[in-house]
Amino acid sequence: MTDLDTLSVNTIRGLCMDAIQQAESGHPGTPMGIAPVAYTLWQRFLRFDPRDPIWPNRDRFVLSEGHASALLWSLLHLTGVRAVDPDYEILGRASVTLDDLKSFRQLDSRCPGHPEYRWTSGVETTTGPLGQGVATSVGMAMAGRWLAARYNKEDFELFDYDVYALAGDGCMMEGVSSEAASLAGHHGLSNLCWIYDSNRVTIEGHTGITFTEDVAARFLAYGWNVTTVSDANDLDAAARAFHAFHAETERPTLILVHSHIGYGSPVEDSPKAHGAPFGAAGVRETKRFLGMPPDETFHIPDGVRDWFDRGIGARGAELRGAWEKQLDAYRAAWPGLADELDRIQRRELPDGWDGDLPDFPADPKGIASRDSSGQVLNALAQKVPWLLGGSADLSPSTKTRLTFGGAGDFQPDEPSGRNLHLGIREHAAAAVANGMALTKLRPYWSGFLIFSDYAKAAIRLSALMEIPVIHVFTHDSIGVGEDGPTHQPVEQLAGLRAMPGLLVFRPCDAGEVTETWRTVTALRREPAALVLSRQALPTLDRSRLAPASGLAQGAYVLADAPDGQPDVILLATGSEVSLALSAREELAGDGIAARVVSMPCWELFDRQPKEYRDRVLPPAVTARVGVEQASAFGWDRYVGDRGIVIGMHTYGASAPLKHLLTKFGFTPERVAQAARELVAERQGVAV
């Protein structure tokens, strides 16, 4: 430990205290306690080039205890990390300026309350909801394994990055981290290191009031390597632990660090240190204890920036330079693979990626949308080598398994496999997919729609981060049948649709399934949720109906009134579209002209110009019936004040589907009847 080490650590602590004090808001306790370990990692180990924070083989640092954001902002500032724009261009400006630090938690500062991916470069993933960062880090480590397996060649060790995640007591208590740790242990991810900042203090008090398990023993049970740092202030001990991590080749490593929340402050070891500024006097007192000038704020002593330049800066530049030189040689030796890497980095797809999608001829008997989805996915995955994913133990049901030759299973002895077995761990599954998408692979994961509830917080993060994860959900309604209400989604569609930035697709037939995959595969900054049926859906005869490409507008006129002047509009998604078409025929027999609008993606429809929306749903036609085997919540927007929604208002029931359709009123007769009533009402008014 040198004087500059100590000075650097205390500079970080000072910046954190000052930023939080200035904001009169924030979480000083964690940075004060764990700063020495974070500093040791960054300065002595992290293979990260501040001048190119998106260098593909960089080590990843995930601040899973995201409330300690001031710690990350201080490190990003002191190391001079450059900003990156949304098109992955490195910008001249710093990612975090001193002004940003001074405006911590203020509008438009690059130093928000929690780390936000894309907003501040150097942030590898958005964190704050506890447990998410560590779980996401598992996906990053798995992606590293996969990249190495596919792209490393003799003499070309392109990918060997490590993933570090800094976690607190909260992260260790959350179920999502347990799921992820079990998965990481199974895969023997020796490129993964979680640093458990064990300060034993949470908001309600000492962890002894509720969290008395033996965390180290638990991780050993998961198959992890566990090492302990008994004093967070001991930089050499931390260094030894990181060396132990590097020496481990079979298992992920947990470094259990005993730290003191609010170290050096008047509220050290108290819950009071967690979430409130120390106050001006407290800050001064703490600085005095640390040997820092008590009255200077945002103080960066001479030599500290330079010290970081000579440490992480010099190391990162050298490693990145060598890597780029290697990549140049790789381009010559392996041009095809090098081209893939370039496209991955820019989130582009191979030429002709959607050239050979399956064609589904009209078929009244049809095919379940989970099945057609499986076929389309397999066609796409053969064209897009970095499209990969798995299921929360449901791939035989969700049909997301890649079955073509060479797809393989991702396993410790087969890290190039593209089928992930994520286990009955939906929450970790979604978080792992997030981690892979942050590494710019194109991941999907699948489960039953009902279990999207288990993964909700991670799905939200994919939307908040604007990363193109593909969430595949099957068994999308009471169509589940006999398994009953615990397995029949009702309100899940509404919940997903309400989530900003998530595109939710519920295609009505195999044709729309193909178009859904075409649309979502091309997404670069948006996650999507595919909502697919268990039961067969007729493949519509598009020669007599509008083409499925209308899906790109979110909703489109599938079948119209003969003269384009409908008496009534029937709106539906997924399995209810063919129901609406049957009702339309029934109504035609009564001389009522019905238009059927398929609306597989509300979000895309809402983005269309008003002119298009009014063409599909003419304001003058107020007789509208919406039908969907899901909560009616949200449908009023489209059926309007005078419309009728045929949806679910209760939970489902356990029975064969045909009986449920009658019980809950999803029959052509009921739809037609509702339409007739509305038309009669209008004519009554007209008369």
Considering only residues 584 through 643, tell me which ones interact with a second copy, judged by CB under 8 A.
619, 631, 633-634, 636-637, 640-641
What is the C-alpha separation between 29 and 21, in angstroms, rounded?
12
| Interaction between residue 678 and a second copy (CB under 8 A) | no
- Binding segment for a second copy among 166-174, 238-246, 369-377, 578-586 (CB under 8 A)? 166-174
Stretch that binds a second copy, among 391-399, 526-534, 585-593, 679-687 (CB under 8 A): 391-399
In the DSSP assignment, the letter for residue 368 is E
The residue within the footprint of a second copy, chosen from 112, 252, 415, 435 (CB under 8 A), is 112
Q: State in angstroms the smallest separation of the CB of 640 from a second copy.
A: 5
Applying CB under 8 A, among 145, 320, 425, 442 the residue interacting with a second copy is 425
450 binds a second copy (CB under 8 A): yes
Q: How far is the CB of 675 from a second copy (least distance, A)?
A: 19
Among 6, 25, 326, 549, indicate the residue that binds a second copy (CB under 8 A).
25
Q: What are phi and psi of 628, to 5 degrees?
A: -160, 135
Number of residues that bind a second copy (CB under 8 A): 112
Smallest separation (angstroms) from a second copy to the CB of 663? 7
Angstrom distances, CA of residue 278 to CA of 19, 28, 287: 11, 8, 11
The stretch among 38-46, 88-96, 260-268, 423-431 that binds a second copy (CB under 8 A) is 423-431
Q: Which is nearer to a second copy, 33 or 133 (CB)?
A: 133
Task: Verify whether residue 426 is a known catalytic residue.
Answer: yes
**CA atoms in the 13 A half-sphere facing the CB of 638:** 31
Which two three-digit tokens encode residue 38? 């974070």
Closest CA to 226 of 253, 259, 257: 253
Question: Over the range 133-153, which residues count as b (16 or more CB within 10 Å of their CB) and which as e?
Answer: bbbbbbbbbbbbbbbbebbee
Mark the segment that binds a second copy (CB under 8 A) among 435-443, 563-571, 654-662, 669-677.
654-662
Among 31, 53, 122, 129, binds a second copy (CB under 8 A): 129
Q: Closest separation between CB of residue 329 and a second copy, Å?
A: 37
Contacts of 178 (CB under 8 A, 6+ apart): none
Specify the stretch interacting with a second copy by CB under 8 A; choose among 3-11, 291-299, 576-584, 657-665.
657-665
Burial of 591 (0-12, 13-18, 19+ CB in 10 A): exposed
Point out the catalytic residue in the list 426, 515, 603, 628: 426
* Contacting residue, 205, 335, 406, 547, with a second copy by CB under 8 A: 205
Nearest distance, CB of residue 25 and a second copy, angstroms = 4
- Which one-letter DSSP state was computed for residue 60? E
Q: Tell the smallest beta-carbon distance from residue 480 to a second copy (Å).
A: 9
Amino acid at 339: D
Residue 234 CB, nearest distance to a second copy (Å)? 26
* Footprint of a second copy on 403-422 (CB under 8 A): 409, 411, 421-422
Of 51, 102, 118, 186, which one interacts with a second copy (CB under 8 A)?
186
- Residue 204 CB, nearest distance to a second copy (Å)? 5
Nearest-angstrom CA–CA distance, 78 and 225: 32
Contacts of 155 (CB under 8 A, 6+ apart): none
3-class DSSP state of 474? strand
The least CB distance from residue 149 to a second copy, in Å, is 18
Give the footprint of a second copy on residues 493-532 (CB under 8 A): 494-495, 497-501
Residues numbered 218 to 257 that lie near a second copy (CB under 8 A) are 218, 220-223
Collapsed DSSP state (helix, strand, coil) of residue 606? helix
Q: Which is nearer to a second copy, 129 or 507 (CB)?
A: 129
Q: Which of 17, 84, 176, 368 binds a second copy (CB under 8 A)?
A: 176
Contact in structure between 13 and 34 (CB atoms under 8 Å): no
Minimal distance, residue 637 CB to a second copy, in Å: 4
User: How far apart, in whole angstroms, are the C-alpha atoms of residue 328 and residue 322?
Assistant: 10
Q: Which C-beta is closer to a second copy: that of 179 or that of 567?
A: 179
| Token pair recorded at residue 649 | 């208002």
User: Is residue 215 part of the contact set for a second copy (CB under 8 A)?
Assistant: yes
255: number of Cβ within 10 Å: 25
23 touching a second copy, by CB under 8 A: yes
Query: What gap in Å lies between CA 63 and CA 167, rounded to an integer?
Result: 7
Lookup: tokens for 631: 């909560």
Environment class of 672 (CB within 10 Å of its CB; exposed 0-12, middle 13-18, buried 19+) = buried
Give the one residue of 85, 157, 482, 541 binding a second copy; rule: CB under 8 A.
Answer: 482
Contact 448, 397 (CB under 8 A): yes
Identify residue 487 by its one-letter amino acid code: H
The length of the chain in residues reads 687
By the 8 A CB rule, do 503 and 523 touch?
yes
Residue from 487, 595, 613, 670 in contact with a second copy (CB under 8 A): 487
533 binds a second copy (CB under 8 A): no
Tokens of 501: 């930035």
Instruction: Using CB under 8 A, pick the residue from 66, 313, 374, 527 that binds a second copy.
Output: 66
Please list the active-site residues: 426
